[in-house]
Structure 1
């Protein structure tokens, strides 16, 4: 997570405001996965202090069309203002694109604890255009409830676009899996 302050805007009061903003933004719950914070998901990218003392909070959505982005921005703004920071601007950074590799170990633990299979490592791609492949690219996730590897995909889309729906063939329980991106 990037946490910078421009030298011209760095004062003790400005740095204290930036630190309060960082702590407040890091604690904001994701609207679609409320057991996780924006920091757990790697959505919180950083907090800057502008020359005029405005705190800028940078977030990166899980994908560019994420319907929760408006709610995340509003929640971050409310939380930072509640922490006593009056001059705040929530900004969106689309580059680099978010990846499931940014989910913290704590975030992965919380997902599994809540019955959602955490993602594996995101696919590695060379720079440039995304290649089209007609071969299967999906892997079967382990069941977050019993740990079995014998699972099947029921639907490529779960309650949100970033999750798929699976069933464990061992314990027969359904579960969601966060897709690797």
Structure 2
């Protein structure tokens, strides 16, 4: 079998991607950065530098430094000497990027996954004076008889909820 430089580069990029995909999220360690949809791309440049691009869940996300360090560390440990981590803010991250496996893992760990994101028409963002929320199913018993107890939880992207059926509290990942 003849291996061309482009197929070798492709294999190297695939291996680098597999390594980066396994980095756990520092705030939701049951998810990888790939599960969360934060890992955007992994490329190998002509000089051999591996460039991984990450998109934070929101622009002020304090976990970005840990994410960047985790990806760089894992890639270097896998034998990639030159690593660059880029932050991509456009398009902004959305909860729609959480993979089906990521949503399943959230539920398995007692965190309600986000629902669908409401799309808005282009133009000015309308002012909403009341908050409309969908029913959030309890990740423990499945009941929709739940209530929000706090708009903010352990991280800014989660809220605290309580199930009225089983009386268990749980976190909910907000739609973004």
Q: Does 1:162 align with 2:157?
A: yes
Corresponding position of 2:86: 91
The alignment of Structure 1 onto Structure 2 pairs a total of residues equal to: 172
User: CA-to-partner distance for each residue in 1:57-76, whole Å, 9 max, x for gaps?
Assistant: 01111011001000000000
The match for 2:131 is: 136
C-alpha displacement of 1:12: 4.7
C-alpha distance in 2 between matches for 1:107 and 1:71: 19
Deviation of the 1:83 alpha carbon: 1.2
1:78 matched residue in structure 2: 73
Q: Which whole-Å CA distance do the structure 2 matches of 1:90 and 1:179 have between them? A: 27
Deviation at 1:137, TM superposition (A): 2.6
Do structure 1's residue 118 and structure 2's residue 108 form an aligned pair? Answer: no
**Unaligned stretches of 5+ in structure 2?**
none
Once the two structures are superposed, the pairs formed by residues 31-46 of structure 1 within 5 Å of their partners are: 31-46=26-41
TM-score, normalised with respect to structure 1: 0.90
Partner deviation per Cα, 1:35-90 (whole Å, 9 max, x = no partner)? 00001011111112223221110111101100100000000000111111111101
Q: Report the Cα offset of residue 129 of structure 1.
A: 4.0
CA distance change for structure 1 residues 127 and 55 in 2, over 3 Å: closer, same or farther?
A: farther
Structure 1 pair 14–86 and aligned structure 2 pair: CA distance change class (3 A):
farther
